Chains A and B, each alone.
Chain A
Amino acid sequence: QTAATEQTTAPATPATPVAPLAPALAKKAKESIPEVKLIGSNKPVDRDADKDAPTIIESESMSGRPERIANFDDHVEIQKGGMTIKADRATYRNLEDEVDASGNMSLQRYGDCYTGDSARMQMDAGLGHIENPIYKLVKNNAQGHANSIDFLSREHSVINQGTYSTCEGLSPDWYLKSDTLNLDTGLDSGVAKKATVYFKDVPILFAPSLSFPLSGARQSGLLPPTFGASSKGGIEFGLPYYYNIAPNRDLTIFPKFIARRGLQLGVEGRYLGETYSGETSVEGLLHDQQTNTDRWSIASVHKQKLLPNVDFSWDINAASDDDYPSDFSRSITKTAQRLLLREADLVYYGSIWSLGLRVSNYQVLQDLAAPITRPYDRLPQLNFHAEQRDLMGFDWAVDSSLTRFWHPSMVRGDRTVLNPQLSYPIINPGWFITPKVSLHATNYHLENPDPGQPTDLNRVLPTLSIDSGMVFERKANFFGRDLTQTLEPRLFYVRTPYKDQSLFPNFDSATADFNFAQIFSENRFTGSDRIGDSNQITAALISRFIEASGEERLRLAVGQRFYFNTQRVTLPDAAASQSRSDLLLSADGKISKTLSADAALQLSQTDRQSVRANYGLRWQPETGKVLNAEYRFQRDTLEQLDISAQWPLAKRWYGVARSNYSILDKRLVEGVAGFEYRQDCWAFRVIIQRFATATLQSTSAFSFQLELNGLGKFGLGSNPIDVLKKNISGYQSAD
């Protein structure tokens, strides 16, 4: 992707004109020699009209028979259509429309420039042959020299025993040397046979065949090989092949030899159609020499519109064993995932309703030192949702679900939920009141109830809520700018009666995070297994600073919930209820054009301690310069200091770094340091990474990448650019 961007942003250098004749000389030549017009009329020069274009020859002297063979000497210039040949001497054969030129020969051919010892060109078809040329191509801004070049057709040429580079100048930083190099502008491809890539005159790669796209577009062929070494696999060598099946389908095959493990084979296919799209990757290793087992993983997503109002999708992930991602993946996004989802979804929707059928299950990649409770499978879940707004002022909605929860060891059963809601919103520009009533009806039929637990359980609970708020505004001045400041008080009352739910199973419920979205919801639990008893009021005050453009510049918020009753419904192992809820404070926005900050704090009113906190600061003085600092805290779970930056270090040098340090465990959770050096025609990137993969386990990864513009990226490990983007919020590629 970077390569493509570079090519589009780098302005295409126009073809350097071949050393022009002194204007006076040219004028003289025109006066002394009559124009030789052989065929056709004076049409404008056009690549497609070359056949009919006249051949114009100018020179200091001429001999021979113009109608058969003519010899020209001194400052010869032959032009036809998009081709111009200049040379000391030339012979023109009228019948074949063919030129032999030698001595300071230069050729301009459809914008490309060649200079060489001699050339034989068929002017009509643009075919020919040049000896000892130096060339410069408009497309891809490439240049080099060769023993000879054959022009096989207007679009296809072969560079024999030549070099190829996208660097400017006589001593390019990198070049490709090959036996033959087939350039086809029609197919947009370059194919080099017996190719060696030199970087700073040191050979870095030999390939029997190497192909690359001329314009950076996708194209079938071998991709640059990857080399590497890792602590878990030893030396690695990969040779990916890209197969561009069709504009909307492709396939990448990546065989990889891992010294200590064996030969791994990966295949990734992507497709996109009018009504469907998807991506599947499979990789595997038969008989891992370390574990003596077969190792593999699959990831597949697919979406399809089966009918105008029926959608189907799947998301399937699987791995051969618990350690597969940590043994083979160099990306923390993969190693951090210990639950692999397998899900299929069918949705049928109408104008105001939708009906969904889903099956889902998770594969758990266990870390024996910190085991994970396996989530329930939903085999299947049927969801129904319908809603209508503003029906004589009323909004109504119905949510219903029917789920069969399955678990190998815990209590299994079917759960039916019906949740109708009716509200009457009264909305005015300056204030609103929304009274709402809802009903939660739930039925359980348990397959293997615990001793003392009934097989069938029922619960019907009504909920009443009143949401209300006001909006005040004033003109304010903030750091010298005229802004609108709002003040938005909001009150939210909820009443739900208590019902003992201690015998109910917990299939999909948990206490929700306490945040500004949650304090205005009726139930303090997510999922449908617990309906919290409540008689409570939530008060919040939000103040926004809004620019004249309508952009929100800064937001300050404070909120708290007050309980009139003691909360009695709990989840198993849940903390005791509190008489007063936690206090929420948050502030986020842009302090100036370059500095933005956010802070969020959840304070427990019971023990006057913070429960959760986030403080972040970002300074982005200009493109390519970013500094982030963030402190994150979750009581008893997490305390981290996360600092990341992207900064130019010197001319052409860019540095990136991230340190995510756990203060709680006194351990580096993730550390990244990288450097990027950019030249006009290449870039070099080094990334050193270290991240935790399991209890007391870390993976260190080293990756580098040498990107030769117009040829490809050579490197090992995960794509450093992806690593940077993921790690440094606000990261921008330097160009």
Chain B
Amino acid sequence: CGFAMRGAVSFPFKSIYVGFGDSSPLGGELKRNIRANGQTVITSSANDAEVILDVLTENREKVILSLNSQGRVREYNLVYTFKFRVRDKTGKEFLEPTEIVLKRNITFNESQVLAKEAEEAVLYRDMQTDLVQQILRRLAVLNMS
């Protein structure tokens, strides 16, 4: 039915600087995935890179989704907002500021608060993986002209 196995994806740039802090888990996973591609260099300085990924917002928020009839939280919505843009060192933009918002629902019960803490971490990791894939897809189709 027209489906073919995905071939190698190459980025339309030779080198990239990824503007995350050293301890950022999202940055770590993104760099790993870019490196796995094998053809793109991740530079340690913005000046040496053909393109620069600027992180504009990276925000995690926990919003009450539903309350039970006693007014207690029974579901939270975890919202992971990431906004970035891609430019070169002269400021020319290849990708205008783009926002990706991911959401996951998590049930809540006061008596399980410690367990829910760990579960939240699992959901954020899942969103992080998802986010990395979405960023990679945008990078793969950058218009470099």
Q: How far is the CB of B113 from chain A (nearest CB, A)?
A: 5
The interface size bin for chain A is: 35 or more
Using a CB-CB cutoff of 8 Å, which residues 480-499 of chain A contact chain B?
Answer: 486-487
The interface size bin for chain B is: 35 or more
Pair B67/A669 contact, Cβ less than 8 Å: yes
Q: How far is the CB of A561 from chain B (nearest CB, A)?
A: 16
Pair B138/A375 contact, Cβ less than 8 Å: no
Instruction: Report the separation of the CA atoms of residues A369 and B71 in the bound assembly, to the nearest whole angstrom.
Output: 13
Q: Does B14 contact A (CB under 8 A)?
A: no
B105-121 vs A, CB cutoff 8 Å, 1 = contact: the mask equals 11101111111111100
Residue in B closest to A376 when the chains form the complex, CB atoms: B114
Q: How far is the CB of B108 from chain A (nearest CB, A)?
A: 10
Instruction: Report the separation of the CA atoms of residues A473 and B3 in the bound assembly, to the nearest whole angstrom.
Output: 5
Using a CB-CB cutoff of 8 Å, which residues 99-144 of chain B contact chain A?
Answer: 104-107, 109-119, 122-123, 125-126, 134, 137-141
- Return chain A residues, CB-CB under 8 Å to B106: 513
Q: Does B75 contact A (CB under 8 A)?
A: yes
Q: Does B34 contact A (CB under 8 A)?
A: no
Q: Interface segment, A4-12, A250-258, A515-523?
A: A515-523
Pair B115/A517 contact, Cβ less than 8 Å: no
Pair A517/B123 contact, Cβ less than 8 Å: yes
Which of A338, A427, A694 interacts with B110 by CB under 8 Å?
A338
Pair B32/A390 contact, Cβ less than 8 Å: yes
Q: Interface segment, A171-179, A240-248, A313-321, A630-638?
A: A630-638
Interface centre among B8, B22, B63, B119 (most CB of A within 10 A): B119
Pair B7/A660 contact, Cβ less than 8 Å: no
Using a CB-CB cutoff of 8 Å, which residues 2-33 of chain B contact chain A?
Answer: 2-9, 22-23, 32
Q: How far is the CB of A324 from chain B (nearest CB, A)?
A: 14
Which of B5, B113, B138 interacts with A430 by CB under 8 Å?
B5
Pair A526/B119 contact, Cβ less than 8 Å: yes
Pair A367/B6 contact, Cβ less than 8 Å: no
- Return chain B residues, CB-CB under 8 Å to A43: none
Using a CB-CB cutoff of 8 Å, which residues 646-677 of chain A contact chain B?
Answer: 660, 662, 664-665, 667, 669-670
Q: How far is the CB of B20 from chain A (nearest CB, A)?
A: 15
Pair A338/B2 contact, Cβ less than 8 Å: no
Pair B6/A430 contact, Cβ less than 8 Å: yes
Pair A510/B116 contact, Cβ less than 8 Å: yes
Q: Does A289 contact B (CB under 8 A)?
A: no
- Return chain A residues, CB-CB under 8 Å to B125: 517
Residue in A closest to B22 when the chains form the complex, CB atoms: A351
Pair A429/B9 contact, Cβ less than 8 Å: yes
Which of A473, A509, A525, A670 interacts with B67 by CB under 8 Å?
A670
Using a CB-CB cutoff of 8 Å, which residues 365-395 of chain A contact chain B?
Answer: 367, 369-370, 372-373, 375-376, 378, 389-390
Instruction: Report the separation of the CA atoms of residues A337 and B112 in the bound assembly, to the nearest whole angstrom.
Output: 14
- 14 CB contacts below 8 A, A to B, read A332-B67, A333-B64, A349-B23, A369-B70, A430-B7, A472-B5, A510-B109, A515-B104, A526-B116, A527-B114, A551-B138, A642-B66, A660-B67, A695-B70
Beyond contacts A470-B5, A552-B137: 4 other A-B pairs, Cβ-Cβ < 8 A, are A517-B123, A550-B139, A637-B107, A693-B71
